Amino acid sequence: MAQLGFIGLGIMGRPMIGHLLAAGNKVNVYDVNTEAVKEVVAKGAVAKASSKDVASVSDVIIVMVPDTPDVEEVLFGKDGVAKGVKSGSIVVDMSSISPIATKEFAGKLEAMGVEMLDAPVSGGQVGAEKAILSIMVGGKPEIFERIKPYFALMGKNIVLIGDHGAGQTCKVANQIAVAVNIIGTAEALAFASKAGADPAKVREALMGGLASSRIMELHGERMIKRTFQPGFRIRLHQKDLNLALQSARSLHMSIPATALAQEMFNAVAARDGLDLDHSAMVLAIEELANHPVA
């Protein structure tokens, strides 16, 4: 059985490691958050002192950190993966980062005899905890097939999109669709509430028609119940939308609904809401309506 490494023990990483351990895998872990490390060690993981140390004893190294600079530091920093990785190993980046940077990272690792997959996920904390994440993969088909059994322990909808960077491109597209869906759900519930209808009953009715969606199901309920503790933080969704807007400019195309969603997130961020769940976009809509959903 392969030795697995996992770097990044956030609200997504910890439950993902739990599923790998529950299947009988040995998982070497590292994170600067020592409390998170203790939590997964208690479940059977093996703590290492650095990303370099994880790589030196692992055949497959999974990375799950917030942003492009974080991935670069984990891979190529002073005590990064590149300093300890063995030729023939596989790096699987499950973070959500720049597709362009992903291609560069894959090229640098390949020159060292190391394969890479980009495999960002969708489904949030709930998806990670229930092992029902959607996993969007970029890389070589033969490497994908070798890692797919591990993906299957963490997710359900696992798709090889294309070559290096294609998984990240798909994730950016996902974040566009999610953001626009959140703003539509927030506007619909705010409108219904201000017009005098019970938003909970409206949501119930909409769930049976064409307006039904996972956003309406999960985040519509959050908006009504005011449960904005993060499953996916606004600051992280803003990071992804920045990637979308930057990429759209490079492609000479307009994505106006995405730009509007980013401005709504900016409005919530201005109220110290960066670390709220992204469903809290409804707070900006409520302010414009001068009326709460709940």
The single residue of 103, 140, 171, 239 carrying the catalytic annotation is 171
Residue closest to 217 by CA, chosen among 143, 147, 127: 127
Residue closest to 288 by CA, chosen among 268, 269, 274: 268
Cα gap 165→97, rounded to integer Å: 9
Cα gap 59→81, rounded to integer Å: 12
Q: Which two tokens stand for residue 3?
A: 């030795």
171 annotated active-site? yes
Residue closest to 27 by CA, chosen among 48, 47, 45, 1: 45
Cα gap 161→169, rounded to integer Å: 9
CB count in 10 Å sphere of residue 108: 15
What phi, psi does 128 have (nearest 5°)? -65, -45
- Per DSSP, the residues of 220-262 read HHHHHHT--S-SSBHHHHHHHHHHHHHHHHHTT---HHHHHHH
- Among all chains, which residue has been given the structure tokens 């990429």? 247
* Residue 56 near residue 85 (C-beta atoms within 8 A): yes
Question: Which segments of 130-194 are extended strands (E)?
Answer: 133-138, 155-162
Cα gap 78→73, rounded to integer Å: 8
Which residues are annotated as catalytic? 171
